[in-house]
Amino acid sequence: MQELYIDSVAHRYGSRLILSSVYMSCKIGEVIGLLGRNGCGKSTLLRIIFGTLKPDYSHIKVNGKLIRKGYITRQISYLPQDFFIPDHLKISYLVTLYTNKHKHELIKEPLIQEHLNMKIGDLSGGQKRLIECLLIMYSDSDFILLDEPFSQLAPVIVDEIKQHIHKLKAIKGFIITDHYYRQIIETSSSIVLLHNGCNYNINHIDDLKLYGYLPI
């Protein structure tokens, strides 16, 4: 079975321990929602999985094979919190750059089709973020990491991103984090909370109150 397996992830910034023995797994067909308060290590964990941040310790496997940098495998794609694509690049070039197997499917998307010959920097902030999401989600990678994909977006764009996640989860695994916890709960097949450096499986919304993520 295709699986992204994360175990024993530990990391600190200076004397502050951010992650301690964090573990989780994500299989094709799963959407893992990652919740936690600001500064709890959500983005740190995603960057460690992707390979752009070297942890103090980690044991990460893709399909049973131990990896050090996820991006080298091309089986993991990562959407960071902030815009990451240079404004001068054309949509048509980006589609070719990021996608192969799902290229023709992506080109059919109205936003892509209508702006194919435009530079991504000429679009609105919401449109730009949606295109970045689509490029990552429709990449050839089996596992998709999305860091705050819903943040500060209009509800119609949030709904569209959720629809694509639902569509693609049949062939991909997702790990998603966002401050809009209701969107995460609605989208995810399972929820993990990062709290005090450790991870906890959340089975009911009351569990989020138990660990202090939500007020009682």
Whether residue 155 lies inside any domain: the answer is yes
pTM for the complete prediction?
0.95
Domain membership of residue 136 (yes or no) is yes
The helix, strand and coil proportions of the chain, stated in percent and rounded to the nearest 5, come to 35, 30, 35
Show the domain range for 43. Answer: 3-210
Note the pLDDT tens digit of each residue in 46-80. Answer: 999 999 999 999 999 999 999 988 999 999 999 99
Residues of the chain below pLDDT 50: none
- The verdict on residue 215 lying in a domain is no
Which CATH number goes with the domain that contains 135? Answer: 3.40.50.300
Please check whether residue 216 lies inside any domain of the structure.
no
pLDDT score for 8: 93
pLDDT at 215 (0 to 100): 86
Q: What is the structure's pLDDT at 50? A: 96
Long-range own/partner contacts, residues 147-150 (CB < 8 A, 24 or more apart): 147/42, 147/43, 147/46, 147/78, 147/79, 147/80, 147/81, 147/177, 148/81, 148/177, 148/178, 148/179, 149/79, 149/176, 149/178, 150/178, 150/180, 150/183
Count of domains forming the chain:
1
